Amino acid sequence: MNEEILRVMKMLEDGKIDSEEAAKLIEALNKKEEQPKAISHDNRMFKIKISDHTGDNNVNVNLPIKFLKALIKSTGSIPLNIKGVDIKDIDTQALMDAIDSGFEGKFVDIKSDDGDVVEITIE
């Protein structure tokens, strides 16, 4: 028996809960164990590259996906402004959906009229 079920049984024994409540808790714990484990993609990176019209990489930002997800959960956005590119305007829900689905590759690829390039990838 796992530790959580033993705790429920102890609560029942001590009279803190009745048998009906114990049964509900044990059923919920069993359902929790049946849930498939989420695949962790925490080793991937969120990469931002901004280069000017000459093709030189002027800015490279690499954030671990785990950190990026925590940042989005706490702020609701990606609070970065790099060389006039406001990263916080990215659709964070679409980004989180892409991350959770295991997406890898270019997420944003923008080239301005003057040749500046912004690429955001998940690798």
Give me the pLDDT at residue 47, please.
Answer: 92
Give me the pLDDT at residue 85, please.
Answer: 64
Question: What is the residue-averaged pLDDT of the chain?
Answer: 81
Q: What is the pLDDT of residues 31-83, one digit of tens each?
A: 876 655 555 546 899 998 888 877 666 888 899 999 888 888 888 888 777 66
Q: Which helix (H) or strand (E) holds 32?
A: helix 19-34
5-10 mean pLDDT: 86
pTM over 0.75, yes/no: no
d(CA 65, CA 120): 13
99-119 mean pLDDT: 85
**Is the distance from CB of 115 to CB of 52 less than 8 angstroms?**
yes
Give me the pLDDT at residue 64, please.
Answer: 92
Give me the pLDDT at residue 86, please.
Answer: 67
d(CA 79, CA 82): 10
Give me the pLDDT at residue 84, please.
Answer: 65
Alpha carbon distances (Å) from 46 to 99, 109, 110: 10, 14, 16
CA atoms within 13 A of residue 63's CA, in its CB half-sphere? 18
Give phi and psi for 26, each to the nearest 5: -65, -40
Alpha carbon distances (Å) from 119 to 8, 15, 27, 122: 52, 61, 48, 10
